[in-house]
Structure 1
Amino acid sequence: MPSPDDYRAAAGYRRSHGGAVRVDRTVRPTVQAFTAMDFDSPVLQEFVRGGRTSSAGVPVTEKMALRNSTFFRAVNLIAGSIGMLPTHLMRRSIVNGREKIEKARDHALFRILHKRPNQYQTAFEFKSYMQTLALLDGNAYALIIRGIVRGKANQVIALIPLPRKSVTPKLSDDWKLTFEYRRPKGGTVTLQQSDVFHFRHPVTCDGLRGLDLVDIAANAIGIASQAEKAAGKLLSGGVMAGGALETEKQLGTEAIEQLRDSLREDHSGAESAGEWMILEEGLKARPFITSAKDAQYDEMRKRQAEEVSRITGVPRPLLMFDETSWGSGIEQLGLFFVTYCLMLWFVAWEQAIERSCLTVEEQDADELYVKFNEGALLRGSLKDQAEFFAKALGQTNPYRTANEVRGAFDLNPIDGGDELPQPSKSTPPSKEKDDE
């Protein structure tokens, strides 16, 4: 594809030594009218099809899907939630006969997942971008750059997202997985499985490529788009009058002007809402009321929003179109969202990273694993957190240390805070003794 500088040069723009842009009148602008594509390119297929054909008779493209407010909200919510959650590389080991779990900060992959996957993206930007592609395309690919870190070879030092729809996974007859990568400037190259991080939608029909939500939701988005188009035509060209005045007599120009002025002066504004007019000259009022067809039209738009909610798995209230009240139920709503919508994505992310970024030896050792910290989405009010940690530090059966509780609030550890509190051996006095 031509670069921006190529387009500037073709249009007659030249950059002087000082950095300013000037126009060269002697250069005739040229236009590149074609772009070379392979016959099996998904971009070419999308261009030829013009989008996914819906039952509404319109092709559904990605741009149309993202213009659907419900679909955009669902994609934005899932991708943003995945991007904001901390992702840690954890290590389990046996110390003095007991299992110990800690963050593997000394491993090169820990920084990649938690801080900086590459030189131009943060961890949030990388995860939210890859999650968005998994939702829209069904698949997201990143090139794995390996190197030597702290004397250890074959360590992941960067994850660089590959261009959309430029990678095709292929499984050979001997069950060897490779990836065919189509370069932006032309030509293809075969990448090995160890060189590609492949993250896909959990639902797949061939075991290699995930399903994209734009294709699944094509009917719902197509019908919703047609409904919005009909609403736009109604607002731009439809009759929006509240009613009509009828009479069998012939009104003169002066009578019509007086009637119009009376309506504007005496019956306009919020103060006159619901009031009836006193008519003269035998006039009869005929109001325009909403028909059953209009009511069904509104119900159809709500139905398509519900269909998008079902396809994406995001609860109705979180899509901002439900009448469900907030307040005490917000915690249960967040728990529902994490359990039934995000949890499958957590597992997909964790296992995809372990499969692609850990070496075979590290996977066989079963010491390193990836963990999403979904607790950031499940935190309740300060009162709820206080009650939870009070029980965790309880006198009967404590299961949290003081430093673990302080760490949850980003507080520094204290001396002696790494040991579990000792259960209290004292028992409350019986009621009989109190009565005595």
Structure 2
Amino acid sequence: MAYQAYDFADPTLHEMMRGDGGRTGVAGIAVNERAALRNSTFFRAMSLISGSIGMLPLHLMRRAADGKIEKARDHPLFRVLHRKPNDFQSATQFKSYMQLCALLDGNAFALIVRSRGAVRQIVPLPRRSVKPQLSATFELSFRYQPKSGGAVTLAKEDVFHFRGPISLDGLTGVSLLDVAADTLGLSHRALQAAGRLLDKGTMARGALETDQTLGAEAIDNLRDSLRENFSGADAEEDWLILEEGLKAKVLSGTAKDNELVALRQQEAEEISRFTGTPRPLLMFDETSWGSGIEQLGLFFVTYCLLQWFVIWEEAVWFCLLTPAEQDTMYAKYNDGALLRGSLKDQAEFFKAALGPNAAFLTPNEARDSFDRNPIAGGDELPRNGTTAAATLADA
């Protein structure tokens, strides 16, 4: 019988010891992925990042000997990346799931299925079932532990792996669930406190005071009178008429209640920092909408998504292309859907791109951006001093 030895610092050992109970932070709350995703701010951040990575097209590109760059539509990997990575997921579903794994666990793994040397499928492997390992001669392999049966060693050529940008050992990425466990635990505690306040706390808006002693019948009559004459939306602007020395006193939130509200907001901001998602995109800041939303989108792409674009592109190049293909082929994320802006902004961009001075787009390239068919003579750059329309007329 074979035995596996683990280092006490190995996260795999920690997971085995705690089962699926999660990471316990300073708040005493065990935080696993299900508990974390019940936090609305964290869920929004995960959904936004994973959904954006999933919906954007990932193309396989080829650079020809003459320097011309084109989509490698004739390559088997193009369809795998762009349309059908495996028999049970679309490209969007596959990329979104893999991205979520990389965020939650720090790593994402998939099995590469080849036929006659060409990649035909990329099948996600269960979370926390794969561990990269480096031999004494610096040969990379992966230890895969299926749900049933013994562990299997997979060669690096059989595994598609990418990790988060931060690593403590150079092989595996840092899990958001690990580094944000304290914040998520405190946020959960604050939510529990808010629930207890609503369930058992005093929710009255005010009190009536008097120096006299009121009997039970007088109190009931007063309560019934208030409900009958001063409840509901119709009584919003009415004034109370108080008798028998009654005085009205408005009850406000206690300092403890106000601290609870501030704590929940602070934890939401902490989650925003951990995930790199701008506050307004997490739907809890009302001051940055309007004309500034385009800049927020640009900020999100530049400082949050761009690093993941590069990570995906390099993983495709490293894991899915042969050494010969790596010289002329590469993967490229098309972030145009997030950066297009309004139709007015696009019109200004294409006006400059098509001339009359130093044009850098052909008419057909501009039309392709809107999924329109090419036109005759539209593959030539406009000459300096002319517009695209003039070039087409000459053709």
Please tell me the residue identity of whatever aligns with 1:381: S
| Correspondence for 1:101 | 69
Q: 1:188 aligns with which of 151, 173, 191?
A: 151
Residue correspondence of structure 1 range 280-295 to structure 2 within 5 A? 280-295=243-258
Q: 1:62 aligns with which of 16, 29, 33?
A: 33
| Correspondence for 2:297 | 334
Aligned residues: 380
> Which entry has the higher C-alpha Rg, 1 or 2?
1
Give the secondary-structure state (helix, strand or coil) at the position aligned to 1:314. Answer: coil
Range that drifts further, 247-256 or 207-216: 247-256
Please tell me the residue identity of whatever aligns with 2:16: Q
| Correspondence for 1:141 | 109
Query: Is the 8 Å Cα contact of residues 178 and 191 (structure 1) preserved in structure 2?
Result: yes
| Correspondence for 2:96 | 128
| Correspondence for 1:34 | none
CA distance in 2, matches of 1:101, 1:352: 20
Range that drifts further, 272-281 or 113-122: 272-281
CA distance in 2, matches of 1:240, 1:39: 57
Query: Is the 8 Å Cα contact of residues 42 and 165 (structure 1) preserved in structure 2?
Result: no
Residue by residue, what CA displacement relative to the aligned partner does 1:226-258 show, whole Å, maximum 9, x if unpaired? 000000001111121122323343323442232
CA distance in 1, matches of 2:181, 2:263: 16
| Correspondence for 2:61 | 90
Q: Does 1:119 align with 2:84?
A: no
Shift of 1:147: 1.0
Give the secondary-structure state (helix, strand or coil) at the position aligned to 1:94. Answer: coil
Give the secondary-structure state (helix, strand or coil) at the position aligned to 2:68. Answer: strand
> Cα–Cα, structure 1 residues 38 and 174, in superposed 2: closer, same or farther, change >3 Å?
closer
Q: Does 1:388 align with 2:349?
A: yes
Please tell me the residue identity of whatever aligns with 1:111: R
CA distance in 2, matches of 1:290, 1:38: 57
Please tell me the residue identity of whatever aligns with 1:335: L
Q: Does 1:257 align with 2:220?
A: yes
Give the secondary-structure state (helix, strand or coil) at the position aligned to 1:360. Answer: coil
| Correspondence for 1:33 | none
Query: Is the 8 Å Cα contact of residues 130 and 199 (structure 1) preserved in structure 2?
Result: no
| Correspondence for 1:25 | none
Shift of 1:280: 2.1
CA distance in 1, matches of 2:294, 2:386: 35
CA distance in 2, matches of 1:76, 1:39: 37
Give the secondary-structure state (helix, strand or coil) at the position aligned to 1:328. Answer: helix
CA distance in 2, matches of 1:420, 1:342: 32
Residue by residue, what CA displacement relative to the aligned partner does 1:108-142 show, whole Å, maximum 9, x if unpaired? 11111011011111100000000000011111110
Residue correspondence of structure 1 range 4-403 to structure 2 within 5 A? 44-45=15-16, 47-48=18-19, 50-95=21-66, 99-148=67-116, 154-273=117-236, 275-363=238-326, 366-403=327-364
Give the secondary-structure state (helix, strand or coil) at the position aligned to 2:16. Answer: helix
Shift of 1:311: 0.6
Give the secondary-structure state (helix, strand or coil) at the position aligned to 2:291. Answer: coil
Query: Is the 8 Å Cα contact of residues 279 and 285 (structure 2) preserved in structure 1?
Result: yes
| Correspondence for 2:393 | none
Please tell me the residue identity of whatever aligns with 2:365: E
Shift of 1:410: 0.8
Please tell me the residue identity of whatever aligns with 1:146: R
Q: Does 1:418 align with 2:379?
A: yes
Gaps in structure 1 of 5+ consecutive residues: 1-36, 149-153, 427-436
TM-score for the superposition, normalised by structure 2: 0.92
> Cα–Cα, structure 1 residues 52 and 44, in superposed 2: closer, same or farther, change >3 Å?
closer
CA distance in 1, matches of 2:191, 2:329: 50
> Cα–Cα, structure 1 residues 274 and 378, in superposed 2: closer, same or farther, change >3 Å?
same
Q: CA RMSD in A?
A: 1.9
CA distance in 1, matches of 2:110, 2:133: 16
Query: What fraction of aligned residue pairs are identical, expressed as a percent?
Result: 59
Shift of 1:358: 0.7
CA distance in 2, matches of 1:75, 1:347: 18
Shift of 1:327: 2.1
Residue correspondence of structure 1 range 399-410 to structure 2 within 5 A? 399-410=360-371
CA distance in 2, matches of 1:376, 1:254: 69
Range that drifts further, 42-51 or 207-216: 42-51
> Cα–Cα, structure 1 residues 425 and 143, in superposed 2: closer, same or farther, change >3 Å?
closer
Shift of 1:44: 4.7
Please tell me the residue identity of whatever aligns with 1:348: I
Query: Is the 8 Å Cα contact of residues 313 and 340 (structure 1) preserved in structure 2?
Result: yes
